[in-house]
Structure 1
Amino acid sequence: VFNVEVFSDRELRVEVVGRDDDAPTSGASRKRRREEDKGDDGEDIDSSCTVTSRPVLRVETIYVSAGILAAKSSFFYKLFSNGMKESGQRQATVRISDSEEKAFMELLRFMYSGKLTATTEPIPLVDILMAADKFEVVSCMKLCIQRLMVLPMTPESALMCLDLPCSISMAADLTEAAKKFLAERYMEFLSTEFQDELMRMPPAGIEAILSRNDFGVASEVAVYDFVLRWASSPCPNSEERMDISSSRLLPLVRLRITNADFYSCHTVNWAVKREQCRSLPTLGPIFSWEEYVFALSVHWVGHLGLYIEMEENKGPTRTVHFEFQAKTKPLLQFVTWHKGTFAAGCEGAVCSMELLGIPWSGFIADDSPFFIDDMLHLRVKLKIMQEPQ
């Protein structure tokens, strides 16, 4: 009796709108957009359920039974009974995006039959799950999750599962399964086999890989380099990537500090945008190492100089060996440009070293070998040479 006028008491006017060109295209953009106003009169509740500024592509009219939909969906219960301004009208309107249309129609059929079309593809099920969450059809959400848990995942479906709204509390096991799938699939994520695929991956996927892997590499520095390459890879949201890499991803890279033969080593990586270099001085990261806190900065004082400045000293004076490196084209590998020593522990001590050995005009030029996708990649290796006498 679905969509049969004689067995229906309401008309559901479905407005299908196009995608907002400024909206994100990831699964996160399909998360619940509406905020319900739970006022007593319900006059301000918008039954369109989504952003209304996008163009309407087409309108579909579907005959429905208010009782059937209200019994399965809290959203339709409020729409047809006591929560929205259309409660007493024969026709009600919902607005969905064109990417949601197929899943929404499947959801309506489910509310009539209690069944979903048989499918072995996880992505359509995730779409239906998102629609079921949006229109508050709990029984459909449970069935979708049950099916997804037994179907093999794909990278795309796993990323969609990571972007499920937090309102789907029952999806915790599904999210964990998605994280496990990505971690196992990209166990060798530093190999050349996956680099193109990973450079296009959204932040949630990279975070899942880094948070669940023990990396299995000789040095975590290689993982650090991977995160910097991901953050600086060309994409529409490059600014967001840089922020996410510094706040969420790089803290997951546990840079190894080794002690052997009374030496203590520490490596600091730093990626600087070209426009930052044009407005020197440029302040770099502040980092702790044993009893000391250091800060890095780049200045132009007749030559390009890297400064290592003591921020805090809680230990004895020690002689520290430093090695400055920069990544260059076309090899895309770090090359050592300067070595030296300084005394760590002297309050206010500053170590300055000349960088790169080329004039400013050659360094900042468009064809400079030191900028890779407009990013300057620097590395400083520090090693304590001896205990104080």
Structure 2
Amino acid sequence: MKDLNSDLFDPGKESDNYCGVSSSSYDFGFAFNDSNFSDRILRIEIIRSAFQSDTCSTIADWDTHRKRRREDAINNDNNDAMLEEIPSGDEAANITESNCRVKTLHISSPILAAKSPFFYKLFSNGMRESEQRHVSLRINSSEEDALMELLNFIYSNTLGTTSPPAVLDVLMAADKFEVASCMRHCSRLLRNMPMTPDSALLYLDLPSSVLMADAVQPLTDAAKQYLATLYKDITKFQEEVMGLPLAGVEAILSSDDLQVASEDAVYDFILKWARTQYPNVEERREVLGTRLARLIRFPYMTCRKLKKVLTCNDFEHEGASKLVLEALFFKAEAPHRQRILAAESASLNRIFVERSYKYRPVKVVEFELPRQQCVVYLDLKREECTNLFPSGRVYSQAFHLGGQGFFLSAHCNMDQQSSFHCFGLFLGMQERGSVSFAIDYEFAARSRPTEEFVSKYKGNYIFTGGKAVGYRNLFAIPWTSFMAEDSLYFINGILHLRAELTIKH
């Protein structure tokens, strides 16, 4: 990564203040290309590109042009900025006539060196180029306008262009010549312009040297946030998201606010996307292992789906086993330990941070003997309960007993006399054929002051597909009392519910 921190006049640095005046207020525009205020001559050799510069009026045009320039760069070893000794005689004539044209500018080496480590090294490295009055650069013709804008910025701290494609070109030139203050300025300009899916994806697909620069981080962060917000409901935009490149998918699936049924759905989507984008299994394993697996929050997947991860050929087995084992250890932790792990991972890969799932995660303990039984724990935040009023409901992830899927649902509804709102809890069986189960069930909740689980309702029911049963007023109090600040049922802002299911024989 280039050392962009040595830009002596970078407006983003505190050291820019001299005698109480910010360096960003300095304007040496009057000295630009003026021999009276210059000590050097900059000779710019402008090589004709294989793809001539088109007029780029939109981000999409610029993206197409950028891809052509990348192809051009692959075939042109002289694409990078170069210091050149000035040719003489026939050699100079041949270069000028057949390949390039030359532009000369009067420059001030102190001004350029103060803004750019590139020019600082050029003028102070002790080489012949640093001692002679004439210095030379070689660029492609597609870079000419951007370089001129960059040089003007070094003198005046302003840009003469405001179109997104042109500003992007200047940003690329600023990276190439290590002008951090201009990179920051371009990044700020682009961030304040209306963003589109095309522009956001383009900002995330800039060369790695640009993406790694601190000055560009706010722009890439804004692009990620834009895509994450736009495609928050990936179910609604599934076909569109399936066609996005890797950088776009990473931005969307890194979000905590993703609207998705469960983490199982995230896993299924990533697998489907990877199989579509990377038909070759070796390439797919590489992308999944190094880029996409970290986006899946395995600790919030169901145990049934985690078992499938272990047998999935798309993942390298050793890496998949490690991820599943880590997820299972997390599930086995006490809730307070889970919260600590989530807080610790919040600034890293966020693998332990829970998203706002449509179906709330549950912790399940299963027993086969002496009877088929499971105990299900469902935690709801106070905000989630608040959002249920006046007639909302929230569903848990599916859990299984006797090979059949069940779920819990929490409701805000009217009591049976329709005189007040109250909190209800229900148990349902997923629809699957004509199978029926006779189930004994018990609902309980932690309650202050003991903070132990207290039984609230017991019942039995013969379940068939799609049926649900429960209690409309689980706590036998009005909604206002249930949600009150001194409510007995919220412990550190969490409502802890438990359901115990036993198959009757």
TM, length-normalised to structure 2: 0.42
Which residue of the partner structure matches residue 172 of structure 1?
A: 217
Query: RMSD of the alignment, in Å?
Result: 4.7
Distance 1:102 1:141 in 2: 16
Q: 1:48 aligns with which of 64, 82, 96?
A: 82
Contact 1:190 1:226 in 2 (8 A): no
Superposed displacement of residue 10, structure 1: 1.0
Q: SS at the partner of 2:304?
A: strand
Superposed displacement of residue 184, structure 1: 0.6
Superposed displacement of residue 102, structure 1: 3.3
Asked if residue 131 in structure 1 is aligned to residue 176 in structure 2, the reply is: no
Asked if residue 12 in structure 1 is aligned to residue 43 in structure 2, the reply is: yes
Distance 2:264 2:99 in 1: 50
Superposed displacement of residue 290, structure 1: 4.5
Which ranges in structure 1 are unaligned for 5 or more consecutive residues?
31-45, 50-55, 259-263, 277-281, 292-314, 324-384
Contact 2:210 2:216 in 1 (8 A): no
Contact 1:183 1:213 in 2 (8 A): no
Q: 1:143 aligns with which of 185, 191, 200?
A: 185
Contact 1:15 1:93 in 2 (8 A): no
Distance 2:228 2:45 in 1: 40
Contact 1:14 1:60 in 2 (8 A): yes
Contact 1:13 1:61 in 2 (8 A): yes
Q: 1:265 aligns with which of 304, 307, 313?
A: 304
Superposed displacement of residue 116, structure 1: 0.5
Taking a change above 3 Å as real, the CA distance of residues 47 and 134 of structure 1, as seen in their structure-2 partners, is: closer
Pairing 1:198-347 to 2, within 5 Å after superposition: 198-201=242-245, 203-234=246-277, 242-255=285-298, 256-258=300-302, 265-267=304-306, 268-269=308-309, 272=313, 285-286=320-321, 287-288=324-325, 290=328
Distance 1:242 1:187 in 2: 26
Superposed displacement of residue 145, structure 1: 2.8
Taking a change above 3 Å as real, the CA distance of residues 236 and 147 of structure 1, as seen in their structure-2 partners, is: farther
4-13 or 175-184: bigger deviation: 4-13
Which residue of the partner structure matches residue 93 of structure 1?
A: 136
Contact 2:81 2:176 in 1 (8 A): no
Superposed displacement of residue 207, structure 1: 1.5
98-107 or 171-180: bigger deviation: 98-107
Which ranges in structure 2 are unaligned for 5 or more consecutive residues?
1-30, 52-65, 72-79, 84-97, 330-365, 373-400, 405-500
Which residue of the partner structure matches residue 195 of structure 1?
A: 239
Q: Which whole-Å deviations, capped at 9, do the CAs of 1:38-92 have from their partners, x for residues lacking one?
A: xxxxxxxx9618xxxxxx9634423231434334323123223445541123443
Q: SS at the partner of 2:292?
A: helix
Q: Report the structure, 1 or 2, having the larger strand content.
A: 1
Taking a change above 3 Å as real, the CA distance of residues 253 and 112 of structure 1, as seen in their structure-2 partners, is: same
Give the letter for the 2:230 counterpart.
Answer: R
Give the letter for the 1:106 counterpart.
Answer: E
Q: Report the structure, 1 or 2, having the larger helix content.
A: 2
91-100 or 138-147: bigger deviation: 91-100
Taking a change above 3 Å as real, the CA distance of residues 98 and 61 of structure 1, as seen in their structure-2 partners, is: closer
Contact 1:231 1:238 in 2 (8 A): no
Taking a change above 3 Å as real, the CA distance of residues 153 and 16 of structure 1, as seen in their structure-2 partners, is: farther
Distance 2:178 2:42 in 1: 20
Distance 2:274 2:128 in 1: 47
Distance 1:90 1:83 in 2: 13
Larger radius of gyration: 2
TM, length-normalised to structure 1: 0.52
Distance 2:281 2:244 in 1: 11
Asked if residue 78 in structure 1 is aligned to residue 121 in structure 2, the reply is: yes
Superposed displacement of residue 107, structure 1: 0.8
Give the letter for the 1:204 counterpart.
Answer: A
Asked if residue 156 in structure 1 is aligned to residue 195 in structure 2, the reply is: no
Q: How many positions carry a matched residue from both structures? A: 263
234-243 or 141-150: bigger deviation: 234-243
